[in-house]
Chain A
Amino acid sequence: MTLILAEMAYWQETSIRLLVGLAAVLLPAGTLVYLFLFKMMSFMQSRLGPMEAGPYGSMQLLAEVGKFLQKEDLVPRAADRIVFKLAPFVVLISTFLLVLVIPAGPDLWFIDVDTGIFLALAVSSISVIGILMAGWASASKYSLMGALRATGQLIAYELPLVLAVVGVVIQAGTLNVQNIVMAQATGEIFGYGGIGNPFIFTQFVGFAIFLIAVQAELTQPPFDMPVAESELVTGYLTEYSGLRFLMFFIGEFATAGIFSALAATLFLGGWYVPGLDPTDGLFNVIGPAVLFAKMLLVAFLIFWFRFTYPRFREDQLQKLAWKVLIPLSLINIVITGVLKVVF
């Protein structure tokens, strides 16, 4: 991509980047919603899900988007109008920034910074601000309660998320996401380099903690205390309708997709398939598809947990983060560090 972009004018390059970025955010989000939210959840509940709109209901998503676009954009009278209207954009921005650091091939990336994974984890927490803005500006008790719960939860689970990644960073010896993929592609397991060294084998604990923390970051079941329907209507989303609600919705599922892609990059080897030379130009073509497949695999796990487990109570939720996940990830870091020095 960078090779092609080198001969282009700035505006051409920017518009291509914009379109690819939009596709990279919306395509996984749409796929996840249709494949998992519509279909897999239905199958797990012994029903078929949407079947009428298009073959096997595949156009249902367009119908839903059309429905949301028709709705009135309501703003409560007591709401802080500017903040209220801005909040969904802040949430969506964090999603769009996250996609930047994930490489889809040896030369396919949006930005290649040395501290890529640090950047990703930093921008992922911008969404907390958006959620708090939404909850506070709605001038509704439910929204405020939901936003406070969401903030408490997101801050609590940000820590295990970061600490789980630290193990990978120690093992790869770099913060650059592209180099982490390369480290996995060229790595060896006890001298055998046939399948590279996907970090899921050595960092299995980290992978599990990362998945649990991602689940909580997405505020989806079993960590859906902030949007608990039976208690808070829909938490910080209560007062939103139409396009702005849709933006929160897209944000949630796009973030699910991007976190899955991030997990696939960090633990499953990213765009690399074993048996090929990682510097091969071929990966610029099949890389995105490989990454997409791995992303779907991780997303399947995330959504499987989502559709299986009932909601955590607030204290259980906080206990899990502070008393189990954080100590566990610290131990994981210590062990990883010791082994890194030993070997």
Chain B
Amino acid sequence: MAIKIKIPGMIKGLGITFGTMVRTLTKGSHTVQYPHVKEAPTPRARGVIALHEENCTSCMLCARECPDWCIYIEGHKYKAPPRRPGGKPRKKNALDRFDIDYSLCMYCGICVDVCPFEALFWTPEYEYSELKISNLLHDKNQLGKWMETVPEFEDYEKGSEAKKAQVPE
């Protein structure tokens, strides 16, 4: 029968700190040296919001739902040529301005959720700090550039679809 010796917590604590020191020296630390080494954020990390301009109808839903009103949208209507010859010209919305002020944004993602036309996307990019706070206002060109960094849509985890069907209609 093994005799269980009770080690006082004070001494155990010393062992833990010493063990951590040895582990850090032999196997490396838990931290990374940031500007030299970069950790890849998870694909769904909320880094920055990208705008797919063609999908936007300037419906203003995102700007209205934004809790701190950091989205500025301006647009105008124009007549597009009719689809078939002899038809009526179509009314369409053109987007003049779509700015997100990242100095105000709190990364809640409500704008992405409410967008009915799949125009806004999260991307995991995070390195866009600025020396001047006004430069954090990203216009639609800048937001469009972030589209390149949007990761491929990952399937929802297994079983999530089945759960959806169980909701009574």
Contacts and interface: CB of A to CB of B under 8 A. Distances in A.
A48 B31 CA distance: 8
Given A46-B29, A47-B29, A309-B13, A304 B24 contact: no
Contact of B20 (A43, A48, A305, A309): A43
A308 interface: yes
Interface residues of A, number: 14
Nearest to A45: B20
Interface residues of B, number: 15
Contact of B17 (A44, A48, A51): A44
B30 interface: yes
B23 interface: yes
A295 interface: no
B18 A304 contact: yes
Contacts of B17: 44, 304, 307-308
B133 interface: no
Contacts of B23: 46
B14 A48 contact: no
A40 B33 CA distance: 17
A47 B30 contact: yes
Contact of A47 (B10, B13, B24): B24
Contact of A43 (B10, B16, B25): B25
Nearest to B21: A43
Interface in A33-60: 40, 42-48, 51
A299 B77 CA distance: 76
A308 B8 CA distance: 14
Interface string B132-167: 000000000000000000000000000000000000
Contact of B13 (A46, A48, A51, A308): A308
Contacts of A305: 14
Interface string B1-38: 00000000010011011101101110001110100000
A305 B17 CA distance: 9
A48 B33 contact: yes
Contacts of A46: 20, 23-24, 29-31
Contacts of A45: 20
The residue in A42, A46, A304, A307 that gathers the most chain B C-beta atoms within 10 A of its C-beta is A46
Given A308-B14, A308-B17, A43 B24 contact: yes
Nearest to B30: A46
Nearest to A48: B29
Contacts of A308: 13-14, 16-17
B13 to A, nearest CB: 5
A311 to B, nearest CB: 13
Q: What 9 A-B pairs have minimum CB-CB distances, sorted nearest first?
A: A43-B21, A43-B24, A44-B17, A47-B31, A308-B17, A46-B30, A44-B21, A47-B29, A308-B13
Interface of A: 40, 42-48, 51, 304-305, 307-309
5 contacts: A46-B24, A48-B29, A51-B33, A308-B13, A309-B13
